[in-house]
């Protein structure tokens, strides 16, 4: 180390460094207005210079320990350089160069999602936040998205997603369903055939039994018909005998007492009703007087 310092401090080395500085051109200053530049190469050079400054400041603003005020100042300086870069890019396009603004990077939030840059004026790239400046008080809320309300799907939205696959018309196209259903279909077919054979066997046995029952049933039916005919004949003979006995009794009946006619029956009914009314509304004394009067007049009605 000591030897290197001695070389740097030697008279020859200082002389050589001085001559090199004399040969250099004086350091050019970037024009204040981009419109003052007339050369495309110069405009591209000043844009590259601004890009390097922006890169240095963006790397510096990543440090969260700089403090709130320093972070805000750095963020303001970066936005100022970005606005100046946009001026130079427009000037490059005017001079016939490439359009760098077309492929400019987008602004992202803390999770890396692309967000819109707030730009109330409508001109320029708008104000952006970089690095630790995104976590400053009042800035984090700008990147937080409001909770999305789940919109209820309408009937139109539901029907819009329905196609032939929904109704199962395309299930056989890939061949998977056929491979899966093949063994199950063969098993069900075998079970159905076995069940059919069993039912057919039962039906044949039932037909044979029915023929035997029919042959036996004919003889039984004939016997039953004969018995029923005999019972009907006996009932008829009994009914005829009862009618003969009743007619003989009617002929032998003789009336020995005179029977009242219809007028006599009506008179007796009226008399009975009259007596009931008199017993209901007349006193006993009045009834006795009435009976005495009838005896005196020799009235027995």
| pTM of full prediction above 0.85 | no
Q: What pLDDT digit, counting tens, does each position of 195-221 carry? A: 999 888 888 887 776 666 555 555 556
The answer to whether the CB of 125 falls within 8 A of the CB of 82 is yes
User: 298 in the Ramachandran plot: left (φ > 0), alpha (ψ -120 to 50) or beta?
Assistant: left
Name the β-bridge partners of 114.
108
DSSP designation for 151: P
User: 20 in the Ramachandran plot: left (φ > 0), alpha (ψ -120 to 50) or beta?
Assistant: alpha
C-alpha neighbours within 13 Å on the C-beta side of residue 83: 15
Q: What pLDDT digit, counting tens, does each position of 82-109 carry? A: 888 888 888 888 888 888 877 766 655 5
Check whether 228 has a pLDDT greater than 80: no
The answer to whether the CB of 40 falls within 8 A of the CB of 104 is no
In this prediction, residue 281 carries a pLDDT of: 67
Cα 259 to Cα 250: distance, rounded to the nearest angstrom: 17
Domain ranges across the chain: 23-143
pLDDT band, residue 282 (cuts 50/70/90): low
In this prediction, residue 121 carries a pLDDT of: 41
Check whether 71 has a pLDDT greater than 80: yes
Average pLDDT over all residues of the chain: 77
Q: For the beta carbon of residue 20, count every other beta carbon within 10 angstroms.
A: 9
Check whether 112 has a pLDDT greater than 70: no
pLDDT band, residue 130 (cuts 50/70/90): confident
C-alpha neighbours within 13 Å on the C-beta side of residue 63: 10
pLDDT band, residue 191 (cuts 50/70/90): very high
pLDDT band, residue 123 (cuts 50/70/90): very low
Name the β-bridge partners of 108.
114
Poorest-pLDDT segment among 150-159, 171-180, 252-261? 252-261
Q: For the beta carbon of residue 71, count every other beta carbon within 10 angstroms.
A: 25
CATH of domain 23-143: 1.10.287.660
- What mean pLDDT is predicted for residues 283-291? 70
- What mean pLDDT is predicted for residues 226-230? 74
From 81, 57, 49, select the one nearest 130 (Cα to Cα): 57
CA dist list (Å): 262 to 42, 99, 256, 271: 155, 140, 19, 14
Q: Which residue has the tokens 């919109």?
A: 151
């Amino acid at each position: 180390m000591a030897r290197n310092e001695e070389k740097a401090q030697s008279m020859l080395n200082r002389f050589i460094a001085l001559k090199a500085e004399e040969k250099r051109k004086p350091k050019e200053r970037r024009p204040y207005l981009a419109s003052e530049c007339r050369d495309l190469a110069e405009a591209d050079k000043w844009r590259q210079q601004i890009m390097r400054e922006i890169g240095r400041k963006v790397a510096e603003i990543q440090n969260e320990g700089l403090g709130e005020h320093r972070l805000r100042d750095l963020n303001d300086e970066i936005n100022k350089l970005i606005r100046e870069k946009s001026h130079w890019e427009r000037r490059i396009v005017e001079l016939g160069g490439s359009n760098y603004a077309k492929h400019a990077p987008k602004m992202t939030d803390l999770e890396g999602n692309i967000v819109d840059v707030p730009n109330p004026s409508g001109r320029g790239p708008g104000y952006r936040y970089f690095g630790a400046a995104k976590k400053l008080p009042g800035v984090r809320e700008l990147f937080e998205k409001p909770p999305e309300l789940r919109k209820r799907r309408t009937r139109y939205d539901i029907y819009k997603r329905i196609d032939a696959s929904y109704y199962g018309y395309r299930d056989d196209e890939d061949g998977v369903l056929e491979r899966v259903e093949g063994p199950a279909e063969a098993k069900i077919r075998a079970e159905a055939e076995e069940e059919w054979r069993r039912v057919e066997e039962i039906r044949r046995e039932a037909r044979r039994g029915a023929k035997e029952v029919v042959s036996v049933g004919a003889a039984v039916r004939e016997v039953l018909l004969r018995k029923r005919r005999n019972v009907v004949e006996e009932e008829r003979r009994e009914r005829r005998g009862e009618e003969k006995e009743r007619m003989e009794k009617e002929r032998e009946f003789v009336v020995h007492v005179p029977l009242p006619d219809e007028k006599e029956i009506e008179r007796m009914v009226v008399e009975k009703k009259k007596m009931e009314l008199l017993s209901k509304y007349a006193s006993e004394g009045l009834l006795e007087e009435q009976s005495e009067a009838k005896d005196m007049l020799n009235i027995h009605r």
